[in-house]
């Protein structure tokens, strides 16, 4: 499955803020800490130096990842009055046991199930995509197949 390169404006801002925080605040602080630790002499048993170098590699790896993402991502705006499930929409469905769930379909870089945001690339997201209210949906999950009916689609959180 290929990853969708869509993101909400808020999601893009969050990633850009994380990049800026790492680049402008975290990395300079760690570089200074490594330089200070290196100035103390023997680096082989200097825990601050060893930890600082490790942390610097982690920061650089994260900066590289975020930089790649920020270049590829495209901001998508959800429709104002959606009639079909699409990126950014909130969709509610009821399963065969009568349990109702509501999720917003977002990009893979901003999903957060606790906040009700699922990836448009996930099995649930793919099953819901392009469906309408009252459509029956079969969701294939690792825990088994779930049949549900879409009860609402909106641009705002219900």
Query: Domain spans of the chain?
Result: 6-75, 90-154
Average pLDDT of the chain? 90
The DSSP string of 53-104 is: HHHHHHHHHHHHHHHHHHHH-EE-PPPSS-SS--TT-EEEEEETTS-EEEEE
Same fold, 6-75 and 90-154: no
What is the dihedral sign for C-alpha 140, 141, 146, 151? negative
pTM: 0.74
As its CATH architecture, domain 6-75 has Orthogonal Bundle (1.10)
Name the band, by pLDDT with cuts 50, 70 and 90, for residue 1: very low
pLDDT digits (tens, 9 = 90+) for 29-80: 999 999 988 888 777 778 888 899 999 999 999 999 999 989 999 898 878 8
pLDDT digits (tens, 9 = 90+) for 20-30: 999 999 999 99
Residue count of the chain: 158
Cα gap 41→59, rounded to integer Å: 24
Q: How far apart are the first and last CA of the chain?
A: 30
CATH 2.40.50.140 fits 90-154, yes or no: no
């Amino acid at each position: 499955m290929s990853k969708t390169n869509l993101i909400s404006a808020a999601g893009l801002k969050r990633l850009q803020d994380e990049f800026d925080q790492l680049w402008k605040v975290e990395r300079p602080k760690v570089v200074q800490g490594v330089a200070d630790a290196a100035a103390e002499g023997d680096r082989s048993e200097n825990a601050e130096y060893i930890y600082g170098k490790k942390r610097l590699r982690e920061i650089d790896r994260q900066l590289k990842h975020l930089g790649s993402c920020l270049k590829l991502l495209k901001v998508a705006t959800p429709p104002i009055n959606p009639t079909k499930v699409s990126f950014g929409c909130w969709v509610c469905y009821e399963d065969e046991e009568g349990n109702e769930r509501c999720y917003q379909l977002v990009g893979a870089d901003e999903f957060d199930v606790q906040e009700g945001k699922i990836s448009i690339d996930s099995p649930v997201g793919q099953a819901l995509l392009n469906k309408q209210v009252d459509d029956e949906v079969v969701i294939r999950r690792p825990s088994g197949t779930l049949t549900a009916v879409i009860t609402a689609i909106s641009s705002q959180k219900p």
